[in-house]
Structure 1
């Protein structure tokens, strides 16, 4: 192993240790709601990278290097430079995971087993298709805007809402996504009709019911929760039936992220204490349950948000930042039912690779 490879391996080991610490802290605390709200504002990155940014920025704040405990925009060194800003001298940056891509070639691209890796400088044979694929992960570095100097960053417009008001177009957008999956949205006169609940998804009747006697903000939050059930759960998802508690955590967390992305108040969300649901999957470590659940929630919420025509808060990327898209965006009229398979985001592997 070369010195460079050894250094990369050591950095990855340090990052894994830091990520494990952040996950363990979630398991032993009641901070899941805060973590989901934070992830909504940095949703362009994987859940694991969100946790790494969260913990490292908090350390920078405690050391007096960052003025606020929560970051606003994060980007890489060259990305900040492209926006006319420079990283402050001596700032080490926040380590995150990034895919190390290699060139793959095949004459029959539809056959997954036919792809071969090209060596550096190797040219493909005549008739071969070449694509870049993620081979493994490498450390990458990002900095919060507070750790940079230079040209001003224009503020991104955020929804301005009165108490109880719903963002314009959010109800219609969510209802349209529910209907795209073969369900109808129906009103319920009160919680009595729903057994005390605010909403209910009937998988057999293909209906989603939402209380009609709540304020608009509460109704869109409930509809987002039920859309989470439609996308992630149901009779075709045996795992969801086996782990009912996690199903409710996922649906509520999806709704929380959708609400946070629209600057709606999320203080009233009630997600069970992490240690209650994360420790109830036999044969699986609680930390792995937390990471898998967080990524499923993030991917589902991002797919929903990408399909909505509403005004949303920043996703953590500075305004004006340009990068090559590596995702297949959801269309305005469709969100894939298999939400965890959506390759959403810039810093993670495709659906066929491991999520780090």
Structure 2
């Protein structure tokens, strides 16, 4: 006789809610603003992306010194530039047509800076930190830490990230100072990374959709709404209204959420029995 999973219908329902919420983001004015903003940044070659990564693994938006000034931000004093290669051209006259054309003659080193190295006008953002703080959420955070198989530490994080999973040390960092709801969501997000993405060759986009999707479903299952953050976050990593990361991630999100929900409910039962 097949054992019925009582969590499955609700988890399926919450996943459908996630997909619907993400789809709505694509028709918002804020989404259009984000796309316009991103269009003002260069598309870097693979080699330059690797150079940026090795020098500044946490980089998100990078631009040259004057480009940041045009965007209303200033590179902070004593910040070291990220070295990349830029093309060098010379103007030549076509012998047949007489037209002047640019000819690539090589590359030269130049510097760019990550947004974390700048200050000034705020960048457009789809997501805003969750602010709910209650005794119930603080208790739920302690329950999450109790079921988490990875060491958890709250740290000062200055690069805009709310937390991270360190694959080398198999540990989780959660940003200090956040409200309990955002700490809970972040911890589940990073737990999902730990369960799913150690030695994974999935794309960064797919990993983030899976982790945040799992966090939304788990928190929603227990009555905590993170949709104001999770929907636009997943939309940002999903790519566009036509991307199918969230569709492909569906089975993984649901199975991972069910696993975590079972562990959380077991811990809650232990606490109730001991009270």
TM-score (normalizing by structure 2)? 0.45
User: Which protein is bigger by CA-based radius of gyration?
Assistant: 2
More helix per residue: 1 or 2? 2
Q: TM-score, normalised by structure 1?
A: 0.36
Greater RCO, 1 or 2 (C-alpha within 8 Å, sep 6+)? 1
